Amino acid sequence: MGDLGVENRRKLLSVVVPVYYNEASLPELFAELLTFEEQLLQRDVELELIFVNDGSGDRSLAELLAIKKARPTTKVISLSRNFGAVAASKTGFSFVTGDAFILLAADLQDHPRQILLMLDHWLAGSKFVISTRATRKDPPTSMLLAWLYYRVITRIVLADYPRGGFDLMLMDRIMLPYMLNSTKNTNPNLYAYWLGFKPTTLSYDRGERRHGASRWTFSKKVTFFLDTVCGFTVIPIRLMSLGGFIAAVLSGLYGIDIIVAAIRGKVPVEGFATLAALISFFCGLILIMLGTLGEYLWRVFDAVSNKPEAVIDEAFL
């Protein structure tokens, strides 16, 4: 009888929403999520809402508490400071109790109605459903950087990764332990794709940001790119080894040429400019290599230092 009761219960979808300076968009997002919840119930699926306030300096927490008051089953977790979107997302994962879960941005660029389409595929048996962006309404510089980023990812990390990337991914609960056990600063989308579950791929038109300015700064994008590359591939180190090997071979050939010229009495007087240029070039190359090694070593140190990824200040469950 107990097993029958488990089989007949409604399924539960957990929606994790990282929040950072989103006070303006939260009321509208909540209204859309309430409509979304009604549509879920028509599919015999319940909704678990998990908001994670990532140290916002505006009234985001006050807005979240208002949402909590209007819908008491909503979970609101507030971090002690800004730890970043990845850490906030993983914090939200630790409160997931649903049969499936999904990350949703609080800026309203990804509409909940797309989740319904993804959910239908999950209900049909797919464990991993992603929505790639057919179009996106972002500034030209952001689009150019995104294009370059995904070209690098498909070249040196995962060749079959969607070329335009994806933000929306609905995952079966079977993937939750792996997402929770990922190392610090791991790109969650790339990591979920790397796990190997065959994704069902949908496409959608990503909307324009309607409230506030993006806090996804250029420096954060660079850090995220370095975390992604250093966390998933050893190719940069191998390129360094290849560069060092080529430099050694060319230097050896040049040395042989000098020796032969000396034996034949045809050694020209080298100019200072040539020597200075060569020294500067190889010193710069060495510093780049050391910096690359340092990026890997820092991530190893950060992983073994036992520092928490995020610190929860308050949890309203």
- Name the pTM for this structure: 0.76
At CA 106, angle to CA 138 and CA 27, rounded to 5? 120
Q: 166-172 and 128-136: which strand pairing?
A: antiparallel
pLDDT of residue 188: 87
pLDDT for position 60: 92
Question: What CATH number should be reported for the domain whose range is 11-215+308-316?
Answer: 3.90.550.10
Per-residue pLDDT of the chain in tens (317 residues, 90 and over written 9): 444 444 567 899 999 999 999 998 899 999 999 999 999 999 999 999 999 999 998 899 999 999 999 999 999 999 999 888 888 999 999 999 999 999 998 888 888 889 999 999 999 999 999 998 877 666 677 777 777 877 888 887 788 888 877 889 999 999 999 999 888 778 888 889 989 899 999 988 776 666 556 666 667 777 777 777 777 777 777 777 777 777 777 777 777 777 777 777 766 655 555 666 677 777 777 877 777 777 777 777 777 777 788 899 999 98
- CA-to-CA distance for 177 and 193, rounded, in angstroms? 15
CA distances from 1 to 7, 10, 136, 301 (A): 10, 16, 50, 51
Residue-by-residue DSSP string for the chain = -HHHHHHHSPEEEEEEEEESS-TTTHHHHHHHHHHHHHHHHHTTEEEEEEEEE-S-SSSHHHHHHHHHHHSTT-EEEEESS---HHHHHHHHHTT--SSEEEE--TTSSS-HHHHHHHHHHHHTT-SEEEEEEEEE---HHHHHHHHHHHHHHHHHT-TTS-TT-EEEEEEEGGGHHHHHTSPTT--HHHHHHHT-PPPEEEEEEEPPP-SS-----HHHHHHHHHHHHHHH--HHHHHHHHHHHHHHHHHHHHHHHHHHHHHTT--PPPPHHHHHHHHHHHHHHHHHHHHHHHHHHHHHHHHHS---S--EEEEE-
Q: What pLDDT sits at residue 2?
A: 45
Token couple for 78:
């507030």
Ranges of each domain in the chain: 11-215+308-316, 235-304
Q: How far apart are CA 53 and CA 75, in angstroms?
A: 11
Amino acid at 13: L
Note the pLDDT of residue 271.
56
Task: Please tell me the predicted confidence (pLDDT) of residue 1.
Answer: 41
Size of the chain in residues: 317
